[in-house]
Structure 1
Amino acid sequence: MLSAAQIKHLTSLQLKKYRQKYAEFVIEGGKILAEALQEGVEVKAVIATPAQLDKCRLLAGNIPVLEADEKQMKNISSMSEPPGILAWCSMRKASEMQQPDGWQLALDGIRDPGNLGTIIRTADWFGVRNILLSEDCADIYNPKTLQSSMGSMFRCSIIQGTLTDLLRKANKPVFAAAADGDSMDQLRTASGVLVIGSESHGISEEVKRVCDHSVAIPGDGRTESLNAAVAAGILLYGMVN
């Protein structure tokens, strides 16, 4: 059984300040756990309800498996209906997340964790796995980001920092998604960085100043803006096709 100290610690990881303090996070569900293990995420322990113990032992291999009753699982889970499987993981270091050059996706001010996770999942689908985030984007280890990315974030190199600096260091053409931008045909190039802002505020003026080109999604203009995740999907499709 989980100790009181372990329950307290795992519950604290629901908050960003403790995830950052301990460089740890929690994932929930057998599918995401399997994805994490496949991608080499360091899993410190797997926690399971009695009904899920056998399944967890098969998944976990040599990783310790700890039993939690239903009440304990509800306490440490961030979900209203806990799946009965939870993994206690260590964050990857930035140096472990570097990947070769290619197309990159940059996100500016995507504060909704569900949107962020969906965009990461979409980028992974289109093979764009090098992602830059502004400092005011949602936390990639937020439970909602993890759930909506469905394991895709473990396949991606994700760096969060001052976006203008990250874009300059990329040393590639930078394309800003904008309502008044030019044709998406510009994206049919070997490499570059595509920048997408939030649907409410768009791309910040500071970031716009380091962009070389702007691209727009054609439409009839009756709606003020597209959801950021929808826009990302359309633009990513345009990049790879």
Structure 2
Amino acid sequence: MLSKRQSKYFKSLQLKKYRQLEGKFLVEGAKGVEEVLRSSYQVESLLGTAEFLHSLSESVKSRANEVIEAKEADLLQVGTFKTNKAGLAVVKIPVQSQLSADKNELILALDGINDPGNLGTIIRIADWYGINNIICSEDTADVYNPKVINSTMGSFTRVKVSYGKLKEFIAKSDCRVYGALLEGQSIYKSDLKPGIVLMGSESHGISEELRKLITDPIKIPGRGGAESLNVGVATAVVLDNFFRN
């Protein structure tokens, strides 16, 4: 059984201010925990049911600084899942490295994506297409929000997500900048090369200051009556077209 002090500490990491204060975040469920234990992330604590801990090799468990056997009730008390028969990990937030853009690389840039579920889905999509870097505006959802981490299904361990001033980052880059705009050219007729793919929120789209930096406006032609696409779905369609040839 967890002590009150431990429970309070682990549960506090659900909130951004405590994640920032402690420099830690939560990973929940068998899939996410196993992925992070096999990654380069530093795992401070591993909480798991006896059955789950027994299923892990000693070499994998040794990646955690401490291993705590816990009951499912303990995991539910400190985590966000409604059911969790496996485990939970407390992981150190890595130091963000300096932002840079390689014109030979396809980079995803997100402007004001504030829904955690959408951000997590986009990270998972980026992982599917082999996108290694996502650059986010400062008002984009926190990547270490439990809803984001859970939505990535472990993909957060393979996709680097950074935050900064998108205008400065894009302006300094020597890259083509593709922006998803309603008035853009059909993506099916566009000459798609490596560069920065800029996606905006469903409600506000790409901000005016960033629209000025777009070199290649693109759009996904619609054929029905829907007003717009979910930003995660739109990101998948856009990225898929970069890899069709």
CA contact 2:101–2:107 (8 Å) conserved in 1: no
Q: CA deviation at 1:188?
A: 2.0
- Which residue does 1:33 correspond to in 2? 33
Match of 2:97, SS state, is helix
Give me the CA root mean square deviation: 2.0
Flag the 1:36–1:99 CA change in 2: closer, same or farther, 3 A: farther
Q: CA deviation at 1:107?
A: 0.8
Task: Map 1:12-161; keep pairs closer than 5 Å.
Answer: 12-56=12-56, 58=58, 59-63=60-64, 64-95=66-97, 102-161=105-164
The reply to whether residue 202 of structure 1 matches residue 226 of structure 2 is no
CA contact 1:173–1:193 (8 Å) conserved in 2: yes
Give the length in aligned residue pairs.
Answer: 240
Gaps of 5+ in 1: none
- Which residue does 2:175 correspond to in 1? 172
Overall identity of the aligned pairs, in %: 40
Q: Supply the distance in 2 between the matched residues of 1:187 and 1:225 (Cα, whole angstroms).
A: 23
CA contact 1:35–1:151 (8 Å) conserved in 2: yes
Q: Supply the distance in 1 between the matched residues of 2:235 and 2:63 (Cα, whole angstroms).
A: 39
The reply to whether residue 186 of structure 1 matches residue 187 of structure 2 is no
Gaps of 5+ in 2: none
Q: Which protein has the bigger helix share?
A: 1
Q: CA deviation at 1:144?
A: 1.0
Match of 2:113, SS state, is coil
Q: Supply the distance in 2 between the matched residues of 1:120 and 1:181 (Cα, whole angstroms).
A: 24
TM-score, normalised relative to structure 2: 0.90
Flag the 1:175–1:169 CA change in 2: closer, same or farther, 3 A: same
